[in-house]
Amino acid sequence: MAEISHIHHEIDYIEFAVTDMAESKRFYTAAFGWAFTDYGPGYAGIRRRQGGEVGGLRLQAEVTAGGPLVILYSNDLEATMAGVQGAGGLISQEIFEFPGGRRFHFRDPSGNELAVWSDR
User: pLDDT by residue (tens digit) across 32-56?
Assistant: 999 999 999 999 999 988 888 999 9
Cα(104)–Cα(21) distance, integer angstroms? 24
51-54 contacts, C-beta under 8 A, 24 or more apart: 51/1, 51/2, 51/3, 51/4, 52/1, 52/2, 52/4, 53/13, 54/13, 54/14
pLDDT for 4 equals: 67
pLDDT for 3 equals: 65
Give the 3-state secondary structure of residue 68: coil
Contact between 30 and 86 under an 8 Å Cβ cutoff? The reply is: yes
- Distance between alpha carbon 59 and the CA centroid of its chain, in Å? 15
* Residue numbers of the chain with a pLDDT score lower than 70: 1-4
Cα(38)–Cα(45) distance, integer angstroms? 6
Contact between 24 and 110 under an 8 Å Cβ cutoff? The reply is: yes
Question: CATH number of 14-118: 2.40.160.20, 3.30.530.20, 3.10.180.10, 2.40.37.10?
Answer: 3.10.180.10
DSSP designation for 80? H
| Sequence-separated (6 or more) residues with CB below 8 Å from residue 46 | 14, 28, 34, 35, 36, 53, 54, 55, 56, 57
pLDDT for 17 equals: 94
